[in-house]
Structure 1
């Protein structure tokens, strides 16, 4: 996450974050099937900085001068709690704009076809002119 933020200083892009846990079966299924799909790889590389965030990771992460840490009381990392807006569901894919503002968290397993549509929706800036249902009807 810190590397993506640093790269954005030089070349702003959106960020797509895979929020996962080590014990999540659907997360592993997305790793094997969705994230390796050639169309998904092409769309991510064209429009986003990809980040994998272990929601139960123990290492502190500093962004914009704020340090996020693992919290025992949540059994989760503070950054994951913030990105998922307290809705701790795995996997969740989080989309941030070029200024690291939240576009949307999308909870649940996504197959390559569905994930590609969502990547295009945010990556090609369709979210600025229509909702996702309108985008799906046109695409």
Structure 2
């Protein structure tokens, strides 16, 4: 094969791989909080479980959408947290564990992690939002398509949620929101 053709094919392959390999920069909550000290950003935490079908769809369809990836990586620190996992988590000088975790149930329903309960997560998937000082803002439960999560990403990033004191105000924001992320 001609060397020029081979080099061109390698360049094209590398570009395609780069486009496909675009990922959210997932961190632990401790890493995200440490980064906030030098560059304040809000945090989005994906609370998932290994057995959760909608969690897998959220990861595949939403968290791999180029618009979502780009927006989150530029504006948030992203945390992925197994809501029924066995890791220890330190948050606000408290350590959370999962004392009832059963390794035999690693890929099916297990005990909820103490941090999951602390964050008031009652369904999977849930996206938990934190402010620039790692203070809890809100949990948003359920599978969200890219344009649906865009609404919350922009609501919390802009601090508009602070102005909303009623469900009616949120409903008004929801109705007037113009999504720009592609499906």
Q: Normalising by structure 2, what TM-score?
A: 0.70
Structure richer in strand, relative to its length: 1
Residue equivalent to 2:112: 76
Alignment gaps of 5+ in structure 2: 1-28, 102-109, 178-183
Q: How well do the aligned residues superpose, as a CA RMSD in angstroms?
A: 1.6
Q: Which has the larger radius of gyration?
A: 2
Q: Deviations over 1:92-134 (max 9, x none)?
A: 1111111112211011111111011111111122212244322
Which structure 2 residues correspond to residues 17-96 of structure 1 after superposition, within 5 A? 17-72=45-100, 75-83=111-119, 85=120, 87-96=121-130
Q: Which deviates further from its counterpart, 24-33 or 57-66?
A: 57-66
Contact 1:47/1:124, CA 8 A, preserved across alignment: no
Q: State the alpha-carbon separation in 2 of the partners of residues 132 and 105 from structure 1.
A: 15
Which one has more relative contact order, counting CA pairs under 8 Å at least 6 apart? Answer: 1
The alpha-carbon deviation at position 71 of structure 1 amounts to 3.0
Q: State the alpha-carbon separation in 1 of the partners of residues 100 and 58 from structure 2.
A: 27
Alignment gaps of 5+ in structure 1: none
